[in-house]
């Protein structure tokens, strides 16, 4: 279990970088006529991110942008899943022109994502760090919550590394908690389809296991894909090996079904909400079913880079390993964080 905690320190080291300033020659014109000379970083979740010499990195709501001009090469994905490659040019109001092998005019509000193709590894990284805690003197119980998310996107794929921990401290008793480290790789296909693979390490003594190691994969599709909302379905297989608290290690093969919905609101302060539900019926232990539900809601503080986050989880196992205290474990935490 200690190596899961040390995973947070290892993952944090990925965020320490030094990058050189790129020459800023791109032009973004806003609906009010303001003209910004910058380096276009990309469009994601309805926000156009640009880097400037005088104002640093700023994020602009996509529907406030009149035109974008850049000679660099981008991948442009529409809400319908179509992909276009080329430089960016201004068109009529409400339109973006992609200049590649052909000159294609797109409805600006139908654009889901813009990715810079030639960007280096460190430039593509984004993520968040959240920390929270509580202590009750009368009961001698304290709790610490920590979360790290790091990821990057390329035109054809994306990856994410995450670490979540909820540790409870009690006087004169051993520490207990829930720890989860996860790596996910996604390869994008056309028409909003994608393939994915994942690996996962987790520990939850209340549900009877000291360590569960899982690998798996599958595919899915974004049924809804817009600048504000994404609704996706995922299906696949997961193979895991559990180390129960009071029994020998055992292996499992499970089916995997996931429903995920995310929503972004840009009205200040900006807020983001993600809901997910995963159902894992066992193939090797027929009748055993595990379910995991997660909620993450963040709200901007001061600037869009600092957030207040509410996180909730509910984990259920109708046949937990020997030594389990409960068949169900759930939690709610509040934390302050920084997005990068």
38 CB neighbour count, 10 Å cutoff:
24
In the numeric block, which tokens belong to residue 290? Answer: 């595990």
> Residue 193 falls within a domain, yes or no?
yes
- One domain for residues 192 and 62: no
Task: State how far the Cα of 312 lies from the Cα of 212, in Å rounded to an integer.
Answer: 21
> Residue 89 falls within a domain, yes or no?
yes
- Quote the mean pLDDT of the chain: 86
**Is the separation of the CB atoms in 99 and 90 below 8 Å?**
no
- One domain for residues 217 and 325: yes
Of 123, 143, 160, the domain-final residue: 123
> Residue 100 falls within a domain, yes or no?
yes
- One domain for residues 204 and 300: yes
Per-residue pLDDT, averaged over 42-63, amounts to 88
Could you tell me which of 95, 93, 91 has the C-alpha nearest to residue 107?
95
Q: Tell me which of 24 and 314 has the higher pLDDT.
A: 314
> Residue 9 falls within a domain, yes or no?
no
- One domain for residues 30 and 139: no
Residue 159 CB contacts under 8 Å (≥ 6 apart), including other chains: 151, 152, 183, 184, 185, 186
pLDDT at 304: 66
- One domain for residues 108 and 173: no
Per-residue pLDDT, averaged over 267-277, amounts to 86
- One domain for residues 294 and 151: yes
157 CB neighbour count, 10 Å cutoff:
14
**Is the separation of the CB atoms in 222 and 231 below 8 Å?**
yes
DSSP 212-226: EEEEEEEEEEEEEE-
> Residue 95 falls within a domain, yes or no?
yes
- One domain for residues 66 and 134: no
**Is the separation of the CB atoms in 126 and 151 below 8 Å?**
yes
Please report, for residues 4, 94, 161, the alpha-carbon distance to residue 198 in angstroms, rounded to integers and kept in the order given: 17, 39, 10
Alpha carbon of residue 198 to chain centroid: 13
Question: Confidence class of residue 8 from pLDDT cuts 50, 70 and 90?
Answer: very low
Task: Say how many domains are in the chain.
Answer: 2
Task: State how far the Cα of 89 lies from the Cα of 69, in Å rounded to an integer.
Answer: 5
Question: Which residue matches tokens 């905690």?
Answer: 5
What is the dihedral sign for C-alpha 278, 242, 296, 50?
Answer: negative
Question: Confidence class of residue 12 from pLDDT cuts 50, 70 and 90?
Answer: very low
Q: Tell me which of 16 and 177 has the higher pLDDT.
A: 177
83, β-bridge pairs: 77
Statement: the pTM of the whole predicted model exceeds 0.95: no
> Residue 10 falls within a domain, yes or no?
no
pLDDT at 267: 66
Of 76, 104, 123, the domain-final residue: 123
Q: Tell me which of 256 and 338 has the higher pLDDT.
A: 256
3-state secondary structure of 63: helix
Of 123, 138, 159, the domain-final residue: 123
Task: State how far the Cα of 182 lies from the Cα of 196, in Å rounded to an integer.
Answer: 13
pLDDT tens-digit map of 124-174: 778 899 999 876 665 567 889 999 999 988 778 899 999 999 888 877 777
> Residue 8 falls within a domain, yes or no?
no
- One domain for residues 260 and 154: yes
- One domain for residues 165 and 55: no
- One domain for residues 229 and 289: yes
- One domain for residues 113 and 131: no
- One domain for residues 173 and 284: yes
In the numeric block, which tokens belong to residue 49? Answer: 């991110």
User: Domain range for residue 281?
Assistant: 125-339
Check which CATH number belongs to the domain holding 172 and give it: 2.40.160.40
Could you tell me which of 44, 182, 130, 180 has the C-alpha nearest to residue 339?
130
Q: Quick one: what percent of the chain has pLDDT higher than 90?
A: 54
69, β-bridge pairs: 27
Per-residue pLDDT, averaged over 277-301, amounts to 95
Residue 175 CB contacts under 8 Å (≥ 6 apart), including other chains: 167, 168, 169
> Residue 264 falls within a domain, yes or no?
yes
């Amino acid at each position: 279990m200690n190596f899961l905690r040390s995973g947070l320190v290892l993952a944090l080291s990925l965020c320490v970088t030094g990058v050189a300033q790129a020459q800023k020659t791109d032009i973004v014109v806003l609906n009010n006529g303001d003209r910004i000379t910058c380096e276009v970083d990309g469009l994601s979740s309805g926000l156009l991110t640009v880097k400037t010499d005088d104002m640093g990195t700023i994020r602009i709501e996509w529907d406030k942008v009149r035109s974008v001009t850049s000679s660099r090469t981008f991948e442009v994905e529409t809400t319908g899943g179509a992909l276009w490659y080329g430089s960016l040019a201004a068109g009529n109001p409400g339109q973006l022109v992609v200049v590649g092998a052909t000159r294609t005019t797109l409805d600006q509000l139908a654009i889901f994502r813009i990715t810079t193709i030639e960007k280096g590894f460190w430039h593509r990284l984004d993520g968040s760090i959240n920390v929270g805690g509580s202590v009750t003197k009368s009961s001698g119980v304290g709790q610490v919550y920590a979360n790290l998310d790091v990821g990057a996107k390329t035109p054809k794929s994306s990856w994410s590394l995450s670490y979540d921990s909820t540790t409870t401290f009690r006087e004169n008793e051993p520490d207990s908690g829930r720890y989860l480290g996860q790596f996910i790789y996604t390869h994008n296909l056309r028409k909003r389809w994608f393939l994915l693979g994942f690996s996962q390490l987790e520990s939850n003594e209340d549900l009877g296991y000291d360590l569960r190691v899982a690998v798996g994969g599958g595919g899915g599709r974004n049924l809804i894909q817009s600048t504000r909302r994404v609704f996706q379905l995922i299906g696949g297989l997961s193979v895991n090996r559990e180390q129960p608290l009071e029994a020998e290690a055992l292996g499992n093969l499970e089916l995997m079904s996931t429903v995920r919905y995310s929503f972004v609101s840009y009205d200040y302060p900006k807020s983001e909400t993600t809901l997910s539900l995963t159902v894992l019926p066992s193939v090797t232990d027929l009748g055993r079913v595990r379910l995991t539900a997660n909620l993450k809601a963040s709200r901007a503080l001061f600037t869009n880079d600092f957030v207040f986050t509410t996180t909730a989880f509910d984990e259920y196992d109708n046949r937990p390993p020997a030594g389990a205290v409960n068949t169900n474990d759930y939690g709610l935490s509040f934390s302050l964080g920084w997005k990068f």
